[in-house]
Amino acid sequence: MPEHTAPRTTIPLEYGEEVREALHAGEPVVALESNVITHGLAYPDNAATAKKVEDAVRAGGAVPATICVDEGRVVVGMSEERIERFAQASGIPKVSSRDLPVVLARGGTGATTVASSVVAAELAGIPFFSSAGIGGVHRGAEASMDVSSDLIQFTRSKVAVVCAGAKMILDLRLTMEYLETQCVPVISYRSDDFPAFYCVSSGIRSPHRIDDADVVARVVENHWAAGAPGGVLVTTPPRAEDAVDRAETEAAIADALAAAERDGVSGQAITKYLMRAVDRATDGRTAEANMAVLISTAEVGGRLAAAHARLRR
């Protein structure tokens, strides 16, 4: 089969068979991250969820491409065996976009964050990506300057990112401000508010609500036609039955932040630390919600990618 027309790159890309065929045929594909498998959820929930997320993308009408780095190659479309291996492994590092050239040069292996997955998606010619909660501006960033590379990458990679907002452990108001300043269009699909990952609403109104998938697809194309170098953020809230109680979760987050301060945890380790602490404090309810929202977001991602592929035909 001839190569599909992905942008030329000297980065070694290894495509899954189903992904290669879909790209070649111009069929919709949704890129997915692997850091949520190695760092976001625990075994065996991580492996089971990764498979359900892929099925949800298919149910939405697109082909899933879970991304990782394995022995110096960017994998675009992990096999079930590879997902299982990553899910069971301990010690696979979190690779953000800044780490990607280093891990590749060393022939190393890593789990891709939203930022590095979006880089890989663009290299592979995949215009859509889905995750549950993106990284953002951390609480206390006024002093720590901890702003996730995910946000900066959205200004540099032409990939539409479908998500349930940003992780609730973050400062969502500052995250929105950052996206606004950096000219990243934020649109909410079929909801008025910017969601808070586990919660239907962050209490912040979204700048744009769009109910029609074809219009979302046109926004993405218009952004690129106008010469924008980056992506569009499309939010979709968790289903009400999957969402957690906002007050209870906020209390758990406050406790987790205090514990992180006591334990001296900051920087790259903070996201995982806080997420796990909140999971424990809520008896696993937030982890459950995390899994459910990964799946429901992926289905919407599949639908929107399908609408976008139709537009391009």
- Active-site residues: which are they? 33, 167
Within 8 A by CB and 6+ apart from 238, the residues are 164, 195, 197, 198, 199, 200, 289, 292, 293, 296, 297
70 part of the interface to Mn ion, by CB under 5 A: no
Instruction: Select from Mn ion, ligand PSU, none the partner in contact with residue 99, using the beta carbon and a kind-dependent cut-off of 5 to 8 Å.
Output: none
Q: How far apart are the first and last CA of the chain?
A: 21
Distance in angstroms (rounded) separating the CA atoms of residues 133 and 297 = 10
282 part of the interface to ligand PSU, by CB under 6 A: no
Distance in angstroms (rounded) separating the CA atoms of residues 310 and 238 = 26
135 part of the interface to ligand PSU, by CB under 6 A: yes
Stretch that binds ligand PSU, among 13-21, 152-160, 206-214, 264-272 (CB under 6 A): 264-272
Q: Which is nearer to ligand PSU, 96 or 206 (CB)?
A: 96
Distance in angstroms (rounded) separating the CA atoms of residues 291 and 270 = 20
Distance in angstroms (rounded) separating the CA atoms of residues 207 and 101 = 35
244 part of the interface to ligand PSU, by CB under 6 A: no
275 part of the interface to ligand PSU, by CB under 6 A: yes
CB contact at 8 A, 196 and 170? no
The binding track of 14-33 with respect to ligand PSU, each residue x by CB under 6 A or -, is -------------------x
249 part of the interface to ligand PSU, by CB under 6 A: no
The binding track of 283-312 with respect to Mn ion, each residue x by CB under 5 A or -, is ------------------------------
Minimum Å gap between C-beta 38 and Mn ion is 17
Q: Which is nearer to ligand PSU, 104 or 119 (CB)?
A: 119
The answer to whether 148 is annotated as binding is yes
Tell me the two tokens of residue 130: 């889905």
242 part of the interface to Mn ion, by CB under 5 A: no
298 part of the interface to ligand PSU, by CB under 6 A: no
Task: Say how many C-beta atoms besides its own lie within 10 A of residue 198's C-beta.
Answer: 29
Binding to ligand PSU (CB under 6 A) within 41-100 occurs at 96
CB contact at 8 A, 114 and 161? yes
Number of H helices, E strands in the chain: 13, 13
The answer to whether 150 is annotated as binding is yes
Within 8 A by CB and 6+ apart from 237, the residues are 164, 165, 188, 191, 193, 195, 200, 201, 243
Minimum Å gap between C-beta 148 and ligand PSU is 3
114 part of the interface to ligand PSU, by CB under 6 A: yes
Distance in angstroms (rounded) separating the CA atoms of residues 152 and 190 = 26
Tell whether the torsion through CA atoms of 244, 249, 252 and 256 is positive or negative.
positive
99 part of the interface to Mn ion, by CB under 5 A: no
Distance in angstroms (rounded) separating the CA atoms of residues 266 and 270 = 5
Minimum Å gap between C-beta 75 and ligand PSU is 16
Q: Which is nearer to ligand PSU, 33 or 54 (CB)?
A: 33
The answer to whether 55 is annotated as binding is no
CB contact at 8 A, 194 and 165? yes
Residues in the chain: 313
The answer to whether 94 is annotated as binding is yes
The answer to whether 242 is annotated as binding is no
The answer to whether 266 is annotated as binding is no
Residues lying near ligand PSU in the complex (CB under 6 A) are found at: 33, 35-36, 39-40, 96, 113-115, 135, 148-150, 268, 271-272, 275
